[in-house]
Amino acid sequence: MPELPEVETVRRDLYRLVAGATVTRVRVLCPGMLRGGTPAALQRSLRGATIVQVARRGKVLILRFSSGWSLLVHFRMTGQLYPVGVGEPLPAHTRTVLELADGRRLAHVDVRKLGTVELVRTDCESAAVSLAAVGRDALCDPPTPQGLEQLLARRRCPIKAFLLDQRALAGIGNIYASEILARAGIAPDTPCHGLTAAQIRALLVAMRQVLTAAVQAGGTTISNYRTGAGTVGGYQTQLRVYGRHGKACRKRGCPGVVERMVQGQRSTFVCPVCQARSADTD
């Protein structure tokens, strides 16, 4: 479940490992995952081109090529992207392969095929389908407390649902939404418009702290996330609530036991002590 810290880790690894590499051939093994393009168009646009930049917006990874084309990769649940060494076999569930001039292959692996790959001209990136509903980046371009307050005042949905909505704030998924709310001490089902100014400031601080620490740790590996170097992340050992139902809250001195609840068909993990609903938010 790659979210912002995982995609950022992949971005940094790929920049280090494949920037400057030249594509000699593109193999599309699962055409159904392509968005707005054909295997032939990928071949025409990327063959002979050099990877010049690796960027990210929200959870979307952007490979920019010297030919003036960009490849937008969304990992959804199980996507991975990493170079495979010369002579090594392609991993199971490889969906797209960029063969490189030095013999390595940049493999796009996705067990569940929920991810997407979109070819778009670099000068028209903002018009891409993959970026159409992507708002400002939660890590690199967060709103001010006043700006967030204005956004939240208009929304009546639970704050957890707001954090998962990529149109407002891009990059946060189910794991980090739980973690950010735990750190901020906010109950996930608090209606957006019921948050106090102090809670909104705490939310922004928690968001920055959690996302920054997760990027530093190389992301969270719960099931099959891999970094751009093919290794596992390290943030799973620092998770405060996610996946820890029945275990003690990790906040120092807190006697709470983490609970699991279902909200919008998604698991949410919460410490009932740190994240107690205040009486006036109902």
In degrees rounded to 5, what are phi and psi of residue 64? -105, 135
β-bridge mates for residue 108, sequence order: 81, 96
Residue placing its CB nearer to DNA in the complex, 237 or 252:
237
* Distance of closest approach, residue 158 Cβ to DNA, in angstroms: 7
Cβ 279 vs Cβ 256: under 8 Å:
no
Cβ 1 vs Cβ 175: under 8 Å:
yes
* Distance of closest approach, residue 80 Cβ to DNA, in angstroms: 13
By DSSP bridging, strand 169-170 and strand 136-137 are parallel
Candidate list 59, 160, 183, 240, residue with the active-site label = 59
The span from the CA of 107 to the CA of 93, in Å, is: 10
Cβ 105 vs Cβ 83: under 8 Å:
yes
The count of other CB atoms within 10 Å of the CB of residue 273 is 14
Amino acid sitting at position 207: M
The span from the CA of 149 to the CA of 270, in Å, is: 23
Residue placing its CB nearer to DNA in the complex, 104 or 183:
183
Residue placing its CB nearer to DNA in the complex, 25 or 193:
193
Q: Is 5 a catalytic residue?
A: no
* Distance of closest approach, residue 100 Cβ to DNA, in angstroms: 27
Q: Is 83 a catalytic residue?
A: no
Which residues form the interface with DNA (CB under 7 A)?
1, 3, 32, 58-59, 74, 76-77, 93, 111-114, 129-130, 132-133, 154-158, 161, 164, 166, 173-175, 192, 264-267
Q: Is 59 a catalytic residue?
A: yes
Candidate list 44, 201, 260, 266, residue with the active-site label = 266
Residue placing its CB nearer to DNA in the complex, 98 or 175:
175
The half-sphere exposure of 101 on its side-chain side, counting CA atoms within 13 A, is 12
The span from the CA of 65 to the CA of 71, in Å, is: 8
* Distance of closest approach, residue 78 Cβ to DNA, in angstroms: 8
Residue placing its CB nearer to DNA in the complex, 16 or 156:
156
* Distance of closest approach, residue 264 Cβ to DNA, in angstroms: 6
Distant-in-sequence, close-in-space partners of 226: CB < 8 Å, separation ≥ 6: 80, 82, 232
Q: Is 266 a catalytic residue?
A: yes
Residues labelled as active-site residues: 2-3, 59, 266
